[in-house]
Copies of this chain bind each other. A is one copy, B any other.
Amino acid sequence: MDITSKFSDKVAHLEGSAIRAIFKLLAKPGIISFAGGAPDPELFPNEELSQIAADILKNDGKTALQYGVTEGYTPLLNWVKERLRSQGIGCENDETIIVSGGQQGIDLASKALINPGDGVICEEPSFIGGLNAYRSNNAKLYSVPVLSDGIDTDKLEEILKENDNIKILYTISTFQNPSGITMSLEKRKKVLELAEKYDFIIFEDNPYGELRFSGEDIPTMKSMDKEGRVVYLGSFSKILAPGLRLGFTVADKKLMERMVICKQVEDVHTNVLSQMIAYRFVTENSIDEHIAKLRECYGRKCKLMIECIDKFFPKCVTHTNPEGGLFLFCTMPEEYDAKDVMEKALEGGVAFVPGSATVIDDKAPTHTFRLNYSTASEEQIRKGIEILGNVLHEIMD
């Protein structure tokens, strides 16, 4: 039988994450990867988590191993709510739940809101996991460029004026993936105004917000949201460990009711052991001390990568200057295609993500690419950027 004839319309033409496909190339021994978005594995608190996990399973295994509550393990959920409250997030009409990684929050909110043909505006470039969540609900995608201070609000309003089907704006407001750019306070306010004027929902995806290593914090859009228009998406992946698959989502109570039912359908509830481990870690150890370590490390690595770029890349290749997060974004003159660069770089032993993996039309040539500086060691950053510089010179000189 030909099963392909039975595929649903919503997934028949969905492409897998190009980024995750690149991961498969990384098995090549000795390859230096700037492709992922993974934390520095040297900074995982292995020892502490080992002791915590052993203790939980030994003394509270009946809870850790049994079915749990869809909304999340109550002590962790309360801790998250309290921390968000201290950041001004969550009003009385909001509800918070624990999800199986930040991605699940995007997916649940999409499922609960998107009908086929509904418009979702995304930043260009953006995060492929977000784009695919909207695509898999048959949304119509629109893109608005990210400028040096965040989304182009004039272009955004143009799209809103021209299209009456817009239901959602998706933004990674702080240390954006892939650009590393942070939206200014003025623009955040402007976007909230537009949301009210044109009656749309904002998905504010903020997995990197706690990882600022320079400059001043800017309030999240959710903390300025008086109407319940913002769905806030948080994650433990970058501040603790992605392998535990833990995130949290804040949304209007009535919307959250729908999302909880969708979560029952997707995975019943989030891994209980992981939630208990995370709760014990954040309360018994200082999560803020741990985050301070991450900030220091990523700030150092980002600075090093930029120094190496300035030294080894052709001058016509520009880069963003992130104040936090995991990524910086490079732009070549328009005549070059990042996919060609990627092929040559892989031969030389260096991987990164071409801009095509971060835009709606992923078949079009892009002259941009994303570099991750959190995962590789400092030695790898020095060596890898030099190799990449040589490849770029070879192509451009």
Contacts and interface: CB of A to CB of B under 8 A. Distances in A.
Interface stretch (A107-115, A149-157, A286-294): A107-115
Nearest to A135: B265
Given A49-B65, A67-B243, A264 B41 contact: no
A66 to B, nearest CB: 5
B199 A1 contact: yes
Contacts of A367: none
Contacts of A62: 41, 44, 46
A357 interface: no
A6 interface: yes
Contacts of A103: 264-268
A62 B38 CA distance: 11
A282 to B, nearest CB: 15
Nearest to A237: B67
Interface stretch (A13-21, A81-89, A216-224, A321-329): A13-21
A182 interface: no
A50 interface: yes
Contacts of A12: 258
Given A10-B115, A67-B243, 19 more contacts: A1-B227, A3-B255, A6-B167, A8-B112, A12-B258, A41-B61, A44-B61, A49-B61, A51-B54, A65-B242, A65-B243, A65-B244, A100-B267, A103-B267, A107-B266, A129-B268, A266-B267, A267-B267, A274-B274
A11 B243 contact: no
Contacts of A252: 3
A318 interface: no
Sorted nearest first, the 9 A-B pairs with minimum C-beta distance are: A46-B61, A54-B54, A65-B241, A50-B57, A243-B272, A50-B58, A41-B62, A53-B53, A65-B243
A65 B50 contact: no
Interface in A328-355: none
A36 B67 contact: yes
Contacts of A199: 1
A47 interface: yes
A245 interface: yes
Contacts of A14: 258, 261-262
Interface string A26-45: 00000000001111010010
Contacts of A41: 61-62, 65-66
Interface string A100-141: 110110010001111100100000000001001100110000
A113 B7 contact: yes
A69 B228 CA distance: 35
19 contacts: A3-B254, A3-B255, A11-B258, A20-B70, A37-B67, A41-B61, A46-B57, A50-B56, A53-B273, A64-B243, A66-B241, A100-B267, A129-B265, A244-B273, A245-B267, A245-B271, A266-B267, A267-B267, A271-B274
Interface in A266-321: 266-274
A365 interface: no
A163 interface: no
Interface string A197-211: 001010000000000
Query: Interface centre among A64, A68, A237, by most B CB within 10 Å?
Result: A64
Query: Interface centre among A6, A12, A112, by most B CB within 10 Å?
Result: A6
Nearest to A112: B11
A262 B11 contact: yes
A40 B136 CA distance: 38
A229 interface: yes
B245 A137 contact: no
A302 to B, nearest CB: 20
A216 B147 CA distance: 67
